[in-house]
Chains A and B, each alone.
Chain A
Amino acid sequence: MRDVSIIGIGQTKVGEHWDKSLRELAFQALEAAMHDAQVERVDALYVGNMLSGELTGQEHLGALVADFAGLRGIEAMKIEAACGSGAAALRVGYIAVAGGLCDIVACIGVEKMTDKQGDIATSSLATAADADYEALHGLSFVGINALLMRRYMHEHGYRKEDFANFAINAHANATRNPYAMFPHPITAQQFAEAKPVADPINLLDSSPIADGAACVILAPTSIAREFTDKPVRVRAITVATDTVAVHDRRDPLYLEGAAISAQKAYAMAGVGPADIDLFELHDAFTIMSALSLEAAGFAQRGKGVALALDNAISLDGHIPITTMGGLKARGHPVGATGMYQIVEVAMQLRGEAGPNQVRNARLGMAQNIGGSGATVITTILEADQ
């Protein structure tokens, strides 16, 4: 196996792009990343996407984007793993480069959600759950997270307001991210008074759906410096799964897939949670932040929320999370989200995060989750300067 590095990154602003189609968003991110890497051609293109068939009646995104980008003839495919599609595309690209099958590979995450009314997009998200045994009972994706949050509060003795800092921290970091959907701060009082969505989850526990695309270019580490003087090494990228339905899990409050994925990543990179300088986690809802921190080994069971209460998650805390706004405030274009996380960790490791720069960031981790923990992809990146 060859070592693999990221030699270029690109992203579009997250938000409602009424003037741009799916293929245009994907192309914009791809063009930015290819320009950043100073490459004119790639050997292969992997497009992470969840809902293009449901929401825009368009599948076959590999060929579609390759064609639109003037890359006709190259290897190209769509990769789907619900909200984990973005990082799943990176995993496929990594396999291709590490295995010596391709040299220069583009991995894109793209989602176009705002053409349809919000409730249709919301319903489509339920396709990540178990259609016969969860969705059939009218359970929405928000509802699944609400069930987890209420039980978590019950078992560990937290109040609803204890989760506020996850959202407040994400919004504070988004104010300094030009690509973020919601670059405005929120207060504890706004959190307390936010509109309920599915009790105990309110609007400010929840990440907003959006349009967006992000892209990275991979190359073998041995030639990465021919393209950039700031290559970022992929030290680990691992995928693990759990039951699709939450009710089938041994303990619904323990994200076993996230734990397995993180353990595999630590083993592959030869590091542990104490070595990680920042963690882009999958904060689709505040409860997921707590559960991810616990599963990835940053907090004991039931203590994930305590990390937020202690401010350990801020940019100068001992484990900064959602450093560019996270899903909550950067926005959650579902199939693109995993690639945004990778681009943001790479920015931190290249020292390009501006006012959000985590000092002396050398090792960064991202964890992208499909469904409510059924597919989990953990990536560990290292600055190589």
Chain B
Amino acid sequence: MEVARFWRTTEQRYRLVGEVCPRCHTKIFPPRDVCPACEAEAKTLYQFSGKGEVYSFTTIHSAPRGFEKYAPYMVALVRLEEGPLVTAQLTDVDESEVYIGMPVEMVTRVLREDDKRGMIVYGYKFRPVRQAEAERQLA
């Protein structure tokens, strides 16, 4: 992955920053500058809470180039509580525990390492909410 391309989407990928439509208040992620609901211009930044639930999920055994060493891993569609669906990996959870409707929250993790240039790409993944609660209780 090219450095400039990686840099362009940093805010979105690290912190789940999207947009909100000034006209109909639809929350937009990934950012696209045009509201998908009413087609108004929508460039107002919006910080998503990172909370949502699993809409669907699968386990990737045969990974695309660059992801081979992480396989098998789980990818989900997550319905954010503000409305949008996002594609992201699930982490800190066993496949047998995941179900449609499971509450999840965002964490920032390594998405991939580019072996050739040693570049590490970080981004959002989602983990079960219950695990976060358990960690807070321990602390």
Contacts and interface: CB of A to CB of B under 8 A. Distances in A.
**A and B: interacting chains:** yes
Interface of A: 119-120, 122-123, 126, 132-140, 142-143, 146-148, 150-151, 154, 196-201, 243, 245-248, 252
Given A137-B87, A246-B87, A199 B59 contact: yes
A135 B89 CA distance: 11
Contacts of A122: 62, 64
B77 A135 contact: no
Contact of A140 (B36, B62, B76): B62
B58 A146 contact: yes
B63 interface: yes
Contacts, number: 99
Given A132-B9, A151-B55, A246-B77, A139 B36 contact: no
A138 B100 contact: no
B102 interface: no
18 contacts: A122-B62, A122-B64, A123-B64, A133-B30, A138-B63, A138-B70, A139-B75, A147-B57, A147-B75, A147-B76, A150-B57, A150-B100, A151-B77, A198-B60, A246-B77, A246-B87, A247-B87, A252-B55
A198 B89 contact: no
Nearest to B121: A136
Closest 6 pairs between A and B when the two form their complex, measured CB to CB: A146-B58, A151-B56, A247-B85, A138-B67, A123-B65, A123-B64
Contacts of B123: 136-137
A199 B56 contact: no
Interface in B65-79: 65, 67-68, 70, 73, 75-77
B44 to A, nearest CB: 19
B58 A198 contact: yes
Nearest to A249: B85
A143 B71 CA distance: 13
Contacts of B30: 132-133, 245
